[in-house]
Amino acid sequence: MMTFIYDVFIGWQRYQFVRVALVGVLLFAPMYGMLGTMIVNGRMAFFSDSLGHSALTGVALGVLLGMRDPLLAMLLFGVAFAALLCWVKARGKSSADTTLGVFSSAAMALGVVLLSLRGDFAKYSNYLIGDLLSISARDLIPLSAALGLVALYSALRYNRLLLVSANASLARSRGINPLAVEIEFTAVVALVVMLSIRWVGVLMLNAMLVIPAACARNVSDSVRAYIARAIVIALACGVAGLLLSFAAGTSSGATIVLLLTVCYAVTLACAK
Amino acid sequence: MKHPARNACGACCLKTEGLTVTRDDLTILKDVNLHVHCGELTAIIGPNGAGKTTLFEALLGMSPHEGKIIYTDAHTGQERTPRFGYVPQSLNMERLAPITVMDFLSADRTRRPVFLKPSSAQRDAVLAELARVGAHALADRRIGALSGGEAQRVMLSLALVPPPDLLLLDEPVSGMDASGLEKFYGVADELRRSLDMSVLLITHDFGMVRRYADRVILLDQTILAQGTAAEVFAGAAFRAAFPGVRPEI
């Protein structure tokens, strides 16, 4: 027990890979907290889940194209998949949740089929649950760029996205193109999802995106408080989950999600 | 009671020619030739599924359509794209959504992200706009927790800045009690008069149509009848569209 406590508070400092992962979490958390508030406002939780599932197909395409690092294929596929989802949803021939369900399952299945063609799917199974402790110092550069992109996007587009999520026709009457706003937003989410999927994992990603915002929503009464609290909750659970998982030898992503879930239960009990 | 339009020129400021909307092989609007006169309140009535909201969506550019939509500026006589103010039936906001009325209006008014503290000038401007529709006390309330009437007044406040050429009100009083109804129509009528704007109103409330509308259009896929409330209510098309309904004329 003493070793566990020592590792949580002090022991981790001796390990370069934990220090790097901690910096990674400090970059991830504000991004997820911020994007999560926009996802929850727009009731797009299924949307980001579908994007996460589509990552496997992006990986498979990268592998089939002979790329050593499939990131570029994932990013391009993610943005194209997001735009296609928006377009199909906007046509309104079937309900949004049905469309997302079909796309999500199809993208996941296609990825698994393509990756298992040569019988070595196990090699890619780390994409399912991710590993934050595998973040390298070099990975911090694209993560910092992604955080900058999300901050810039939020500063420029948060207001428009808020109006579109309230009522698309109302937004249109104010000179906003709702479909363009939606495509733009999902492209940003797709970039963040594809960039982080190898460390966060397909199965954990949506929880990490949505739960901080869901917690903050329970205990906030203005947009300012909502976003600030979502970021603080994402940071606190991210850092605590990483260090606890290091000390306990558990999956870091899953540990963070469990902490976020506890946080959600507490905030739900405190909801006004 | 209704105020006469201050500067109504009687000219047709918005015209649709052969407006047709089709979705998935289903014709929702067919050959709608609508004339909206400057400074007047035009009520659009019709049974459920008549295409009333789709007409607004087409005007706002939200619905692909055939035919022409022409707006003529009453002052210059030039055709141009009109500035719409739109009050939808409702907002897609949960009761607990942490978005205040101030956040919502600020999101429209300024480029400054609403997650930053608003400047005092910005806050004062929003409060003044809310005061115009009798809603200044709602500024710090969550928008999802407002009653139907309160939410409609907030949306009306949003729609009026900058002053629109055409104000589109889509069943703005559904679910409102009698005093809320009277208050909303009173505010809308006073604003129409003072700002000299044209108003298009979708409603099922024939009593208010009789009291406030200058002209009435009966729509069911296409325009079945138009004229004053008395003319439309007394016509055969109205009786066929609303069997058994006899509004007081």
CA atoms within 13 A on the CB side of A113: 7
What does the pLDDT profile of chain A (272 residues) look like in tens digits?
788 888 888 888 889 999 999 999 999 999 999 999 999 988 888 888 888 888 889 888 888 888 888 888 888 998 998 888 888 877 766 677 788 888 888 988 998 898 888 777 777 888 888 888 889 999 999 999 999 999 999 999 999 999 999 999 899 999 999 989 989 998 999 899 989 888 988 888 889 999 999 999 999 999 999 999 999 999 999 999 999 999 999 999 999 999 999 999 999 998 86
Identify residue A136 by its one-letter amino acid code.
Answer: S
Say if residue B74's pLDDT is above 80.
no
Q: Nearest chain B Cα to A155, which residue?
A: B113
Taking residues B151-157, what's their average pLDDT?
Answer: 90
Nearest to A173 among B85, B100, B113 (CB): B85
Instruction: Report chain A's terminal Cα–Cα distance, integer Å.
Output: 38
- State the smallest CA–CA distance between residue B246 and chain A in angstroms: 33
Q: Do A163 and B85 touch (CB under 8 A)?
A: no
What is the Cα A24 distance to its own chain's centre? 14
Average pLDDT across chain B, whole number: 86
DSSP at A118: T
Q: With bands split at pLDDT 50, 70 and 90, how would you rate the model's confidence at B227?
A: very high
| CA-based nearest distance A164→chain B, Å | 9
SS (H, E, C) A20-45: HHHHHHHHHHHHHHHHHHHHHHCCCH
Q: Could you tell me what percent of chain B has a pLDDT over 90?
A: 47
Q: How high is the pLDDT of residue B115?
A: 94
CATH 1.10.3470.10 fits A7-266, yes or no: yes
Q: State how far residue A134 is from chain B, nearest Cα, in angstroms.
A: 34
Task: Output the pLDDT for position A257.
Answer: 94
Record the pTM.
Answer: 0.86
Cβ within 8 Å, pair A165-B92: yes
Q: What is the pLDDT of residue B132?
A: 87
Establish how many alpha carbons lie within 13 A of residue A223's alpha carbon, considering only the half-sphere containing its beta carbon: 26
Query: Is pLDDT at B68 greater than 70 in this prediction?
Result: yes
Of residues A99 and B12, more confidently modeled: A99
Find the largest Cα–Cα distance for chain A: 62
Segment holding B26, helix H or strand E: strand B26-32
B44 CB-contact burial (10 Å; exposed 0-12 / middle 13-18 / buried 19+): buried
Q: What is residue B174's predicted lDDT score, i.e. its pLDDT?
A: 66
Q: What is the rounded distance in angstroms from the CA atom of residue B236 to the CA atom of residue B234?
A: 7
Spatial CB neighbours of B239, under 8 Å, sequence gap ≥ 6: none
Looking at residue B40, its pLDDT comes to 87
Of A224, A227, A271, the CB nearest to B117: A224
Examine the pLDDT at B2 and tell me if it is beyond 60. no
